[in-house]
Amino acid sequence: MAVDLVRLVERLNLAHSQSFAGTYFAEILALLSIVFGGSFLLFAWKHHEYYLGMTGFLVGGWAGLMLKSQFSAAGQIAPFLYLGVCAVAGAFVAVQFRQFIGILLGGFSVCVVGSVLAPSMFRPGEHGLLTAGASFLLGGGLGAMFPKFFFVLNSSLIGSVFVTWGASTAILSSIAGGANPQVRVMLHLLVFLPLLLFGVLYQMVTSQRDEPQPIVVPVTIPPPAAAR
């Protein structure tokens, strides 16, 4: 009985050699990646409170582990306490302070775009830190004014990355596995860029359609009283 239970648990573990997935573990991960990325592309803004809370929970937990390693690496307090407290705090901040999250997303987006378009200006050195700081301030100001756009942009970016990785693992690696690097990069861009554009346009259009329309109440002006 115990041996059968152990074998069943081992087969339920997808990382084990005798698992149910067998040699198709990579395909299962690719499918999960496509589903997860597709949910970001389609429903991130419609259910933005859940996505913000989930993202804040993960980032807060990561920050808590960083605090543990920096300030109390050999302390007696369990790492789970740092992880739990900071994760809950991160989820609360992400849901309640959306404009602050817009500032962070805007600064991050401008820094990423700037580092792609002009990588020499962001290299560590004399002007790298100054350029990154100025870009973050510029993006933070835009994010404070347009938090919805930057949330849609970053959620579409996350979804596009996950879907592109899943498509690369499941399809592109078998089709163009022996091609030169330039062809592989072009194929991945042909998947990534349309997905990014689709996610931004779809979420912006559907979010405007789902917003409640203002209720117009007609005002009736009575006629002036007849002079006596």
Query: Closest by alpha carbon to 156, among 42, 69, 46?
Result: 42
Predicted local confidence at residue 147, as pLDDT = 84
- pLDDT < 50 regions, the chain: 17-18
65, 79 contact by CB (below 8 A): yes
Instruction: State the pLDDT at residue 86.
Output: 85
Predicted pLDDT of residue 198: 92
pLDDT at 52: 80
Q: Which residues, other chains included, contact 44 with Cβ-Cβ below 8 Å and sequence gap of 6+?
A: 51, 151, 152, 155, 156, 158, 159, 199, 203
In angstroms, rounded to a whole number, what is the distance separating the alpha carbons of residues 168 and 191?
9
Enter the pTM of the model: 0.68
The answer to whether 39 touches 159, Cβ cutoff 8 Å, is: yes
What residue segments make up the domains of the chain, in order of their start?
25-207
Helices assigned H by DSSP within the chain: 2-12, 25-43, 48-71, 79-96, 98-117, 128-145, 147-167, 173-175, 181-210
Q: What angle do CA 68, 154, 151 make, to 5 degrees?
A: 95
